[in-house]
Every structure is written in C-alpha cells, then in structure tokens.
C-alpha cells in the first residue's frame, strides 16, 4: 500500500471516532470492540534498553477492566503469549463481574515473536495475523485501537485493519518532540526553562551552551536532550563547574571537552542519535527543593480536554533522569498549578487535532516559601503513570478533582498510591509469577475490594528472566501507600533470600 493511500485511509478512519464518542449512552449498550496494541514503537537505540519487551507490552493488562461493560469485546495483542495464570490474575480483579463471562469476550492474540522490535512491526510482517485481528472486530464503526504510542507503523496497521486509533496522528508527532513542546510552551505562555530548541545536530550544542551561559552567567548545570528521547533516555546532564568564564576564547574547546567527558562512554551513540533527531539545550532549574511532577490528560475526539491526574515522579538512572515510578497524587502545594498549565496545552493540542492521552512533565522548585513550576516535556502517548492511574480508577470508580489536587472514591475516601516498574533484584529471578501472587496473598498485601486498598502487580511475566516486576500500592493515605509499597519490597527480599538458602537433601 502506497503512502498517499495510507494517509487518506487513516484520515477517513479517524473521522469515525467523533460520532462514536458522541453516542456516549449507546457505547454502554451496543457491542463494541477495543483492540489493544501495546507496541513500544521506539527507535532501536531506546528499545535496546529494555531487557524484556513482553513485560512492557503487558503493562496495560489493567485494561482488562474494560470488560466490566458486558457488551465490550477486548482484543489484546502481544509479541509472545500471555501466561494463563497472569490472565486469571487480572480477570479476578474485575469488580462485580463474573470472570467466565468476561473471559468469553477477551481475545488474546500473539505474534509468537520475542525479538526486541516493535510489536507493530511484527504484525505488519504477518498479513494472516492482521486478518485474524480484523475477524475479531464485529463492527469497525464501533471499534478503535488503543496504542502505546502512534507512529507511521501504527497508522499503516490501522488502515490494514480498517479500525481507527485512539491516539495522536503521527503527522502531529512533532508537537511532542523536545523542540516542538518548547515552542508550544512559549506560544501558550507556559513557564519553561531557559534554553534553545531546533538544534540540527551535535555541532550546534556547543554554541547553544555558550549562548545560554552568556544569558545565565551563574548557570551550573544544563541538560542536552535529543528530540525523540523517552523516559530520560536521550538526556545528558552536563555540569559547568570549572569552565572558562562566558566569552573566554578557550570556552568553546572547554565546552566540547566537557561534553565528551561527562557523556562518557556513550558519547558516540549520543552524538549519532542527536545528529539523526536534532534536539535542545536547556538549563537545569535549581532551588531549595526540586520535584519532578507530571500532569496527565485525555483529549477526546470531540475536542474535550479532561485532566486525569497529577503525579510526583520518582527518577533514577546514571544522571537521575530516568523514570522509575511515581506517587499519586502530586503534592498539593503545586498540583493545582500544574493542572492549570497542562490544561492550556491540552486545549491547544485539541485545536491542533490531537486525540488520546497526553502528559506534561514539570520541574517544580521551591525558593523560600513559594513553588515555581516549569514545563519540560510533552508526551503524546501512554506513559509510566498511565497504568497505575488506570489501576486506581478502575478498581475504585473514583475521580481526580484537579481544582483541589485530590482523588475521591464514591464512598468519599481520598485515595493514594505509590507505583513502580522497577521493583527489581537479581535474586528475584528465583520467582515465577505464581510465586509473586502467592507472596502478596500470604502476607495479606493483595488488593482487597472491600477496603479498596492493597497491592496490584504488573509486569510479572518476565520476573524469572530479568528479576524485575512492577506494582501499584493503593491506600487511604500517602503514608499507608508508601508503607505498603515498602512492605512488598521487604517481603520479596526476604522470600528471595530464603529461596537461595541451602536446604538439607531429602532422605
């Protein structure tokens, strides 16, 4: 299929979303099909950082909760088959639904291909598998695809399936690049760090740093970011201590040397990525306290913008730039502020024609008694905060109140969670998914529908391979959620150590 045909076909498909969304009452009664394609469609340089692609494709298994609607059919596609016990785990979380009834409306499709490549790419190589997916969609006018992110590959797959995507058109993807979002922040009057965007290659980085230092003589740290980097991959933190003063003849050479020294062994790879994608240079905002919250929103096909949540992100990695997990909700000292700023961008995205989930990352700094929020990134995709929030939302039927920065369940209780994709240890390779389920149940940490508190596991399928799982700990206070999260890690560590203890032989 030629590109012009794909573009025309995709545009026609996307026009189906608005009338479907407008029939809100019918959506709960008439049969519909939701196809989840959790393809991590990233460049090879980023995808190669993931040790187990299947684990990440299973992060959205919480969408099984959509089967609460008795007329919904859910098609969930993965690279490899999902273990039956993992399927049972999520179906048994369904509140008020007979699991066997939900199971009849759930269709699991696998490419049977564990190579580290985007799932969508694997599907496009298998026309018969695409036909299988088409056959599972009863009415294409009452169906849509839920992607992880949307690229030209997802666009082509949608056209071949004849089903629209609830996600941003790839032609609008530049809005979510590091350069594109800086332009949006500027145009919509959203505070963001000083810096320069639209750098064409690594040769532009040094001069941009010189210019930024001239404007900010006291600048101590800055970030160099590739345009398409995700979750902190593609970022480099550069410290400016000890460099010649701005304007000194030796400054350009010293900056180049600092870049090579501080990016270190990954400099060549980073340079190649920056030369392919372009990128930005921006100050690393400093203050008495520094936090990294995010605000998540949904832009529907009718142009409505719903503020879904705010989170305080937990960051790690070599430069402290890689997403590790989150706390919900974000600190109320700035949660309302970042919601209002994010809403400005959400309305602009709606005017541009963006559909689906989006999130804005902020840096909030406290200077004296006041907090200041700087927008730093825009993500037009599912993110690391998506599945924990969906977990809370589905299991409690509560809602986030952006005007107050709180989440309230129907019983009036406020809800909180701590979540991470990186509950990991080499010793956890001793576990199977069944072991994980057994441990949280024996220690009475499993989610309890009566109290609407407890732990929900995710990313369990690869624990034996990579020693990593994920979890969301839901509670009635921030302190209890943190205690519960820490309790799980304590018991996992204890059980893992016990698994390796030398035991006497039988007999």
Model confidence pLDDT, tens digit, residues 316-343: 766 565 778 899 999 999 999 999 999 9
Give the β-pairing of 293-299 and 305-316: antiparallel
Residue 176: DSSP 8-state: G
* Alpha-carbon span 214 to 219, nearest angstrom: 9
Please report which residue ranges of 162-250 form alpha helices under DSSP H.
178-187, 205-215
Please report which residue ranges of 427-472 form alpha helices under DSSP H.
433-442, 463-466
| pLDDT for 28 | 57
| pLDDT for 323 | 73
SS3 70: coil
**Is the pLDDT confidence value at 382 over 70?**
yes
* Alpha-carbon span 293 to 400, nearest angstrom: 16
Q: Is the pTM here over 0.85, yes or no?
A: yes
Ramachandran area for residue 327 (φ above 0: left; ψ -120 to 50: alpha; else beta): beta
| Domain 289-498 bears CATH identifier 3.20.20.70 | no
What number of other Cβ atoms are within 10 A of residue 168's Cβ?
Answer: 25
Question: What angle, 0 to 180 degrees and rounded to 10, lies between the N-to-C axes of helices 251-263 and 205-215?
Answer: 110
**Is the pLDDT confidence value at 310 over 60?**
yes
* Alpha-carbon span 36 to 26, nearest angstrom: 21
Q: What is the mean pLDDT of the chain?
A: 93
Please give the average per-residue pLDDT across 410-425, as a whole number.
95
- Structural domain spans, the chain: 3-166, 194-283, 289-498
Q: Which of 72-76, 261-265, 401-405, 499-503 has the lowest mean pLDDT?
A: 499-503
* 3-class SS letters over 396-428: HCCEEECCCCEEECCCCCECEEEEEEEEECHHH
Smallest CA-to-CA distance from 433 within 42, 82, 108, 138 is with 82
pLDDT band, very low/low/confident/very high, at 47 (cuts 50, 70, 90): confident
| pLDDT for 453 | 97
334 preceded by a cis bond (ω within 30 of 0): no
**Is the pLDDT confidence value at 496 over 70?**
yes
**Is the pLDDT confidence value at 27 over 60?**
no
| pLDDT for 505 | 62
Encoding tokens for residue 186? Answer: 């500027």
Task: Determine contact, residues 224/235, Cβ cutoff 8 Å.
Answer: yes
* Alpha-carbon span 89 to 64, nearest angstrom: 10
CATH class of the domain defined by 3-166: alpha beta
SS3 48: coil
Phi–psi pair at 137, nearest 5 degrees: -95, 110
Smallest CA-to-CA distance from 45 within 269, 223, 309 is with 269
Phi–psi pair at 110, nearest 5 degrees: -130, 145
């Amino acid at each position: 299929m030629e590109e012009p045909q794909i573009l025309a076909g995709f545009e026609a498909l996307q026009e189906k979303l608005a009338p479907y969304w407008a029939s809100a009452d019918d959506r709960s009664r008439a049969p519909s099909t939701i196809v989840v394609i959790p393809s991590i469609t990233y460049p090879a340089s980023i995808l190669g950082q993931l040790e187990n692609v299947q684990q990440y494709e299973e992060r959205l298994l919480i969408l099984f909760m959509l089967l609460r609607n008795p007329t919904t059919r859910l098609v969930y596609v993965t690279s490899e088959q999902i273990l039956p016990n993992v399927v049972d785990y999520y179906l048994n979380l369904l509140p008020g639904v007979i699991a066997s009834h939900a199971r009849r409306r759930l269709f699991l499709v696998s490419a049977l291909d564990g190579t580290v490549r985007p799932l969508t790419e694997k599907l496009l190589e298998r026309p018969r598998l695409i036909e299988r997916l088409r056959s599972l969609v009863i009415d294409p006018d009452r169906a849509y695809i839920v992607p992880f992110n949307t690229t030209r590959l997802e666009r082509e797959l949608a056209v071949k399936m004849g089903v629209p995507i609830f996600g941003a058109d790839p032609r609008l993807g530049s809005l979510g690049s590091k350069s594109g979002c800086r332009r949006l922040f500027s145009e919509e009057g959203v505070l963001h760090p000083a810096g320069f965007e639209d750098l064409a290659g690594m040769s532009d980085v040094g001069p941009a740093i010189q210019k930024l230092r001239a404007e900010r003589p006291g600048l101590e740290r800055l970030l160099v970011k590739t345009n398409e980097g995700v979750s902190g991959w593609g970022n480099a933190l550069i410290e400016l201590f000890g460099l010649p003063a701005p304007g000194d003849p030796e400054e350009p050479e010293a900056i180049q040397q600092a870049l090579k020294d501080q990016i270190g062994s990954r400099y060549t790879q980073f340079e190649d990525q920056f030369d392919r994608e372009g990128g930005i240079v921006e100050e690393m905002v400093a203050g008495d306290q520094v936090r990294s919250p995010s605000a998540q929103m949904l832009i529907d096909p009718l142009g409505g913008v719903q503020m879904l949540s705010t989170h305080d992100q937990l960051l790690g990695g070599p430069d402290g730039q890689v997403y590790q997990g989150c706390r919900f909700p974000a600190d109320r000292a700035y949660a309302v502020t970042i919601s209002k700023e994010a809403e400005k961008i959400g309305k602009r995205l709606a005017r541009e024609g963006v559909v689906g989930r989006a999130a804005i990352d902020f840096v909030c700094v406290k200077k004296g008694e006041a907090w200041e929020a700087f927008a730093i990134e825009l993500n037009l995709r599912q993110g690391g905060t998506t599945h924990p929030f969906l977990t809370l939302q589905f299991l409690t039927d509560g809602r986030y109140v952006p005007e107050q920065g709180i989440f309230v369940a129907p019983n009036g209780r406020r809800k909180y969670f701590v979540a991470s994709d990186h509950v990991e240890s080499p010793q956890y390779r001793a576990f199977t998914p069944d072991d994980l389920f057994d441990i949280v149940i024996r220690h009475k940490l499993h989610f309890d529908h009566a109290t609407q508190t407890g732990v929900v596991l995710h990313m369990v399928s690869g624990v034996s391979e990579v020693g990593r799982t994920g979890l969301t700990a839901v509670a009635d206070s921030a302190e209890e959620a943190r205690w519960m999260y820490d309790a799980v890690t304590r018991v996992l560590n204890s059980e893992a150590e016990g698994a390796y203890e030398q035991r006497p032989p039988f007999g």
